[in-house]
Amino acid sequence: MKLKGKVAVVTGGARDIGQAICIKLAKEGAKVVVNYYGSKKDSEETLAAIKAIGGEGIAVQADVTKQADIDNMVAKTKEAFGGKVDILVNNAGGLFARKTVEEIDEDYYNLVMNVNLKGTVFVTQAFKPLMGNGGTIINLASQAGRDGGGPGSAIYAASKGAVMTLTRNWAKELGPQGIRINAVCPGMIATKFHDDFTKDEVRAKVAGNTPLRREGQAEEVADLVAYLAGPESTFMTGNNVDINGGLAFS
């Protein structure tokens, strides 16, 4: 219960890595705001899992690319848990499709960049006034931000690279205010993301080339997020931490 009494907000918290993060933070004692966009059923399952372990949480629907939705999420958080947020996890994001350089259009570019980067910027901006000394922010970046990603993921990789750079910059800005910010860079994690966008043979090849010879699990990413949110990492800020089974090193 290292996070007992803390309030955590997790964007995109209804399923996959986001769901695992919500449950892990709740296990450590945090009260959790589970943000979702279209996954209402998944958000209800996440809340049920939190309550099953004796935790507290609320689910808030919000599109992280829309300021009005973000402001409503802040208001719902204050209403449920008061005026202080200790942990913010900017997890909402997506690839949405694999597109070659010839196939990228303006709508696709805006969708990917807005969800992955704009959402991180404006959610952080909105919740920062609720975070005092000792607050911590964890962004979800990606191995793709380091190595450029697989075929057709150029805009996704660019957006995650931007999140990594944002993390480094804001560490300098927020550090004097007592707020830490780090990012997690997952490699191949067994989630719906890869179920939807990565062929089975590609996944098998990547797993075979990984020193640990497997894909990662969402719970392993959640464990790292909880570490970065907790008291053992209080001298860490501005880091982009790899979790990829040894496939790539920073």
Question: Quick one: average pLDDT of 191-198?
Answer: 72
**Positive or negative torsion for Cα 221, 109, 123, 146:** positive
Q: Residues in the chain, how many?
A: 250
When mean pLDDT is compared across 34-43, 138-147, 203-212, 229-238, the lowest value belongs to 203-212
The answer to whether the beta carbons of residues 227 and 26 sit under 8 Å apart is no
Please report which confidence band the pLDDT of residue 197 belongs to, taking 50, 70 and 90 as the band edges: low
Domain ranges of the chain: 7-243
| Predicted local confidence at residue 115, as pLDDT | 98
| Predicted local confidence at residue 199, as pLDDT | 80
Residue 195, pLDDT > 80, answer: no
Residue 127, pLDDT > 80, answer: yes
Strand, helix or coil for residue 188: coil
Question: Quick one: average pLDDT of 7-19?
Answer: 97
The answer to whether the beta carbons of residues 217 and 189 sit under 8 Å apart is yes
| Predicted local confidence at residue 207, as pLDDT | 84
The CA-based dihedral angle spanning residues 100, 105, 106, 108, taken in that order and rounded to the nearest 10 degrees: -60
Residue 181, pLDDT > 90, answer: yes
Instruction: Report the candidate in 143, 33, 40 with the shortest Cα–Cα distance to residue 78.
Output: 33
Please report which confidence band the pLDDT of residue 101 belongs to, taking 50, 70 and 90 as the band edges: very high
Task: Tell me the per-residue pLDDT of 221-240, one tens digit each, with 9 for 90 and over.
Answer: 999 999 999 999 999 999 99
Distance CA 225, CA 166 (A): 18
Strand, helix or coil for residue 194: helix
Please report which confidence band the pLDDT of residue 198 belongs to, taking 50, 70 and 90 as the band edges: confident
| Predicted local confidence at residue 249, as pLDDT | 85
Please report which confidence band the pLDDT of residue 124 belongs to, taking 50, 70 and 90 as the band edges: very high
Catalytic residues: 156
7-243 CATH choice from 3.40.50.720, 2.40.30.10, 2.40.50.140, 3.20.20.70: 3.40.50.720
Instruction: Report the candidate in 2, 23, 5, 13 with the shortest Cα–Cα distance to residue 84.
Output: 5
| Predicted local confidence at residue 131, as pLDDT | 97
Rounded to a whole number of angstroms, the CA Rg of the chain reads: 17
Residue 191, pLDDT > 90, answer: no
Residue 214, pLDDT > 80, answer: yes
